[in-house]
Structure 1
Amino acid sequence: MIAAIYRPIVLAAAAAWLSSAAFAAQRVAPESPIPWQVDKHPFAAKRANEAFSGFACGTSGICVLAVDEGRQGAFMRINGERLVYVGEPFEFDGVEKELDAESAAVDGGYFYVAGSHAAKRQTCCDNSDSRRVYRLTTDENGHIGTMAHSERLWDAMRGLPELASYAVPGDCRCDKAPGRNRIDIEGMAAANGRLLFALRAPNVEGNGYIVSVDARALFEGGDLRPSLATVPLGANKGFRDLAIADGVALALVGPSDAESSADYSIVELRGLTTGVAVQPKELATLDLQNAPLGKKGAPIKPEALALLELNPRRYRLLVLSDGGEDGAPLVFNIPRRP
């Protein structure tokens, strides 16, 4: 284990890399504007099939799906260009109303799903259900083997000076600072025994944040050894998801709040998984011009990222979106840079 990953990683450099002509990111359209097919499945929450928010696959071929409506999740498999469910949707133990699940990760035989840890977006009222991280095991038929949850991440974030003023319960007053800029976890990945949580908010002076903790300690007790990476993203931008590709973290970046109109892009975060200074590099902007719209005619909002293939020239990524029917799965070929 590399001890440096436990120390706060702070980047003071301006986000000039985003606009540098030398690293100008190209716009990349999906392989096909027609989404992959997804088997229909009856979630208890009415809008769950339009609220895919996290997706991660293990070496066994089983993937875990997080949805931000209700208190259920599901297991799936990729079958060609189709997503098929494995077993029935499962309930997250102990959730009274809504987990607001926003992210998923896989590490070895464990599947992880995390709530947003955020106040309710429309009212800024508290949602204690969302301040949970789950660790699951399953068999090849999608039957839950074990399910554990932890509520320690919230206190760990409150203990980080940069996040302390944003890790506050919702007080139902969106007009008070930090208001809608409170903590909001949207992405997660696992690497080197650590869980990495990527925040959509806050964005502070153009910086986004990734919190990491010891994965085993989060559920079994002991020192979480929390650390914080501060990454220049630009104004009004935040993380939407994380994925690990050949030891390198890839981030899906989009608007940091509902009022912003920032593009969605893929950013490579070299150094994040190895404990050295993070070197962010924007690889591509997702061209969604011909992407399907949601049921009400609104643009889809990319929320989940999964690696399908990689070679020296490209990352082939599956992107699922909130607002699109059954996640509107689209595939993007993202160029790699030296």
Structure 2
Amino acid sequence: MHKRIVTHVAGLLSLLMILVVGPACGKSESPSPQASNPPGRWTRIKEEGRYSFRGQVAEDQDLSGIACISDRFGLIGADESRDVQVIEISRKDKTLRVRDTVSLAPSGDEIDIEAIAAEGDSYYIIGSHGISKKQGEVQSNRCSLFRLGVDPATGRPTRPLSLERTSLSDILRADPVLGEYFAKPLQLRGVNIEGLAARNGRLFVGLRGPNLDGNAFVLEVGANDVFGGKSQPSYTLHRLQMGPGLGVREIVAVRSGFLLIAGNSASEPSEKYTQSVDYAQDREFLMVAWDGAGAEVHKIGPIPDVVGKAEAMLVLEEAQDHVTVLVLFDGPRQGRPTIYRLY
């Protein structure tokens, strides 16, 4: 299997990334007169209020993924569910209204939905590809990657559904770096996916674990390669200098590259796994910028006023001197959708 680990900054690629149009849900604005930090080099985070849900949110204390296909429509998912839900976004009222529910699997164990991305006329939904952190159970549904087709006229999933399903298990299991950690629990540096972004037909898969020698990982692969049935699709394993004990908990595309949430790479001890490598109960959730090419990351700072676990992020707008995001938390009722401005 062809593979390469990126360890240096590709200057030309970084420059091109700045010119790429941002995600579908993000709105562009002119820079403010106080502009001081270039895109991706923000140094401050400010909370700016909250959104609220309308309608019945499934597994509302376990929300783990959000993405939008347009300014109006998006998709949410929870890690204790096999379903995703279509939401209608109102910026004026700051509401997320549940409009439809789509089942990804008719039966079986939970998919452990960990992240959602959107590009073009498709949503991508990914499971953790890891074993359960409490009992170490292997559940095949967790090793799933879905592509859900969207009607461009309505912003909603097509009817009948256009739903494809594949897995990244073969790539993860065979990789010379990640392979020995596949099917291990998070407490022992096991492979676990928690972030997903899409850009130019390529998927950027953020791994919560393992963290190896202070490095976190993002796996980049072509969407059509993995859904096209290639037995050995080429891919890139990016090594990010995140620091000890930190893994990728979310990743979204922005014009300057990618914005990540970083947090504990390990999980808290359980009855079966009483010791956890690198876990810190008081470790903060951080906003991190990455250019999408090199190993270096820029730590913007800790997310303020965290309740539960920062699990999902949506770009609301982008300007030359700031970006505004919506973060969902695992734990509070209805995810406590909180607006943050990075500047």
The structure showing larger relative contact order (alpha-carbon pairs under 8 Å, at least 6 residues apart) is: 2
Q: CA deviation at 1:25?
A: 8.0
Q: Is 1:209 matched up with 2:217?
A: yes
1:93 to 102, 105, 108: 105
Aligned counterpart, 2:171: 156
Q: CA deviation at 1:226?
A: 1.5
Aligned positions of 1:1-338 closer than 5 A = 7-10=4-7, 28-32=45-49, 35-41=50-56, 43=58, 48-59=59-70, 61-80=72-91, 81-87=94-100, 89-93=101-105, 96-139=108-151, 140=154, 142-144=156-158, 145-151=161-167, 153-168=168-183, 179-222=187-230, 223-259=232-268, 260=280, 261-270=282-291, 272=292, 276-288=293-305, 299-335=307-343
Alignment TM-score, normalising by the size of structure 1: 0.80
Q: Tell me the amino acid that sits aligned with residue 294 of structure 2.
A: A
Q: CA deviation at 1:29?
A: 4.0
1:11 and 1:230 in contact (8 A); partners too: no
Return structure 1 stretches of 4+ with deviation > 4 angstroms: 23-27
Aligned counterpart, 2:22: none
Q: CA deviation at 1:24?
A: 11
Q: CA deviation at 1:75?
A: 1.3
Alignment CA distance shift 1:167-1:38 (3 Å): same
Q: Tell me the amino acid that sits aligned with residue 218 of structure 2.
A: I
Give structure 1 stretches of 5+ with no counterpart.
Answer: 13-22, 292-298
Aligned with 2:211: secondary structure? Answer: coil
Q: Tell me the amino acid that sits aligned with residue 198 of structure 1.
A: G
Q: Tell me the amino acid that sits aligned with residue 84 of structure 1.
A: R
Aligned with 1:105: secondary structure? Answer: strand
Aligned with 2:227: secondary structure? Answer: helix
Q: CA deviation at 1:93?
A: 2.6
Alignment CA distance shift 1:94-1:205 (3 Å): farther
Alignment CA distance shift 1:119-1:287 (3 Å): same
Alpha-carbon distance between aligned partners in 2 of 1:232 and 1:217, rounded to the nearest angstrom: 28
Q: CA deviation at 1:255?
A: 1.5
Sequence identity percentage: 24
Q: CA deviation at 1:278?
A: 3.8
Aligned counterpart, 1:294: none
Q: Tell me the amino acid that sits aligned with residue 66 of structure 1.
A: G
Q: Tell me the amino acid that sits aligned with residue 229 of structure 1.
A: H
Alpha-carbon distance between aligned partners in 1 of 2:233 and 2:256, rounded to the nearest angstrom: 22
Residue deviations 1:267-295 (CA, integer Å, cap 9, x gap):
1101x1xxx4243111222111xx5xxxx
2:44 and 2:342 in contact (8 A); partners too: no
Alignment TM-score, normalising by the size of structure 2: 0.79
Equivalenced residues, count = 293
Q: CA deviation at 1:84?
A: 1.0
Alpha-carbon distance between aligned partners in 1 of 2:285 and 2:138, rounded to the nearest angstrom: 28
CA RMSD after TM alignment: 2.4
Q: Tell me the amino acid that sits aligned with residue 9 of structure 1.
A: V
1:124 and 1:179 in contact (8 A); partners too: no
